[in-house]
Amino acid sequence: MKLSRPFLAAASAGIAIVLLSSCSGDSGSSESSPAGDASSSSEAAAASEEPAAAAPSASDIPASAQANIDAAIPGTYTLPETSGAITAAKKVTGIVFGNQSQSGPIFTDTFKAAGAAAGWTVNVVDGEFSTDVYLSAIRQAIAEKVDGIVLFVIDCAAVKAGVEEAQAAGIPVIYVEGYDCDSDGQGQATGYPLGLYNSLTEQGVDYVKFLEATGQLQADAMITALDAKVEALAVNYPETYATVSITDGFVNEMQVCTTCTATVFDSVYADWGNALQTKISTELLKNQSINAIMGNYDDPVLNGIAAAAEASGRDIYVTGDAGYPAMVELIRQGKADMTIGYDGAMESWAAIERLNRIFNGDTKMFNTGIGLQLIDAEHNLPAEGALYVAPVDYIAAYTAAWGAS
């Protein structure tokens, strides 16, 4: 599994982490202990002579975890920073990682809508989870002499040759929910990040910190809901840096809970469906103590995780991120417990704003206003079948600034 520095720091700090891989066929593991327990064997022996500690209660929930939940209920969205009038008659191409996902069609539809509001010609390509399709679409866009390219959940590493060709052709590339080639501190930038976000405690943070906050909030939800008695399975997708960042945030936050453990399970997008359900079910059978699953985001929950949790017959707390209608319905049915309201359309409008700024010579980062909001059975449930909508009117803000009707 390719882990970023925050995750490795968590591992060295003493949190109980087991790394499992669904790719190799056999799952490696290591002995685990409560998160934050780095005691020596002599200390453990001494402790064994003392009376057992009382089971944790609601008062044992870390104050910081509860504070984050309290901030996430009203949410951390703000109106976006806007620039000026829209640049006329631009032609742009969006490339989506895969429309089999819940998020792909949302981005496709809302990016077209935002582009139409700007008066631009917009084409969106379904990447079908294939790097070959991504590259082909980028090269086709270059051949068509588009003014800009927007990649959705596609990292530079997967399409390096194509984005370098776009850069050489003078076509700006925007990474939405994706990482550029300089993200590891070693490669060269080929495009531009979307902008800045709002985490649980800060406004105007970069994308990595924002994603880590989504993992952090999933951990806090488990900790507070389960009275600081959590043995979690965290589902991770090493194929994309974004999902690894969410896992990093989750694992790091679990360190605040001294009576919690986390096991990281690596999966792949191709597993979605029966294969993922089977693999999660196997992990639940192997470890009967697991009482929570960090789904990473809603798509894996909807494509196997929730079904595996239900089939186990156990009371397992399941989390996701995005707030899709299908995920909200699972929460209503008691088959999932928490997700994060993430207005994907807000990214689409921000992508048009980002390109417009670049076309006008402004490459500075701006705050998109995108934040986080807790959704569970008691808070912020959208209407049945409705997409989650941020609690700010960003469309009105953008169209007014652009001079669009």
What's the pLDDT tens digit per position in 80-96?
Answer: 999 999 999 999 999 99
Per residue in 217-250, pLDDT tens? 999 999 999 999 999 999 999 988 889 999 999 9
3-state SS class at 125? strand
**Is 390 within the bounds of a domain?**
no
Q: Is the pLDDT of residue 213 over 90?
A: yes
Q: Are residues 299 and 353 part of one domain? A: no
Q: Is the pLDDT of residue 393 over 90?
A: yes
Q: Is the pLDDT of residue 372 over 60?
A: yes
Residue after which a domain boundary falls, among 340, 374, 393: 340
Q: Are residues 261 and 174 part of one domain? A: no
- Among 211, 150, 175, 192, smallest CA distance to 371 is for 211
Q: Are residues 224 and 103 part of one domain? A: no
Q: Is the pLDDT of residue 309 over 50?
A: yes
Q: Are residues 273 and 131 part of one domain? A: no
What's the CA gap between 153 and 371, in Å, rounded?
18
Q: Are residues 204 and 225 part of one domain? A: yes
Q: Are residues 247 and 224 part of one domain? A: yes
Per residue in 319-343, pLDDT tens? 999 999 999 999 999 999 999 998 9
What's the CA gap between 333 and 352, in Å, rounded?
37
**Is 36 within the bounds of a domain?**
no
Q: Which domain holds residue 105?
A: 91-194+345-362
Q: Are residues 181 and 236 part of one domain? A: no
Per-residue CA distances from 328 to 18, 93, 200 (Å): 30, 31, 21
Task: Decide: 37 and 258 in contact? Cβ < 8 Å.
Answer: yes
**Is 393 within the bounds of a domain?**
no
Cβ-proximal residues to 227 (8 Å cutoff; 6+ apart), any chain:
56, 57, 58, 60, 61
Q: Are residues 334 and 357 part of one domain? A: no
What dihedral do alpha carbons 326, 332, 335, 337 form, nearest 10°? 100
**Is 355 within the bounds of a domain?**
yes
Q: Are residues 169 and 110 part of one domain? A: yes
**Is 402 within the bounds of a domain?**
no
**Is 148 within the bounds of a domain?**
yes
Q: In the structure, what pLDDT confidence band is assigned to residue 23 with cuts at 50, 70 and 90?
A: very low
**What pTM, to 2 d.p., does this model score?**
0.83
Backbone angles phi, psi at 93, to 5 degrees: -120, 130
Q: Are residues 252 and 159 part of one domain? A: no
3-state SS class at 79? coil
CATH number at residue 138: 3.40.50.2300
Q: Are residues 208 and 72 part of one domain? A: yes
Q: In the structure, what pLDDT confidence band is assigned to residue 26 with cuts at 50, 70 and 90?
A: very low
Residue type, 47: A
Q: In the structure, what pLDDT confidence band is assigned to residue 20 with cuts at 50, 70 and 90?
A: low
Task: Decide: 22 and 286 in contact? Cβ < 8 Å.
Answer: no
**Is 370 within the bounds of a domain?**
no
Over residues 278-292, mean pLDDT: 98
The distance of Cα 393 from the centroid of its chain, to the nearest Å, equals 23
Over residues 350-355, mean pLDDT: 98
Task: Decide: 92 and 138 in contact? Cβ < 8 Å.
Answer: no
Q: Are residues 286 and 204 part of one domain? A: yes
What residue ranges in 169-315 does DSSP mark as E strands?
173-176, 192-193, 197-198, 203-205, 231-236, 261-266, 292-294
**Is 387 within the bounds of a domain?**
no
Number of domains in the chain: 2
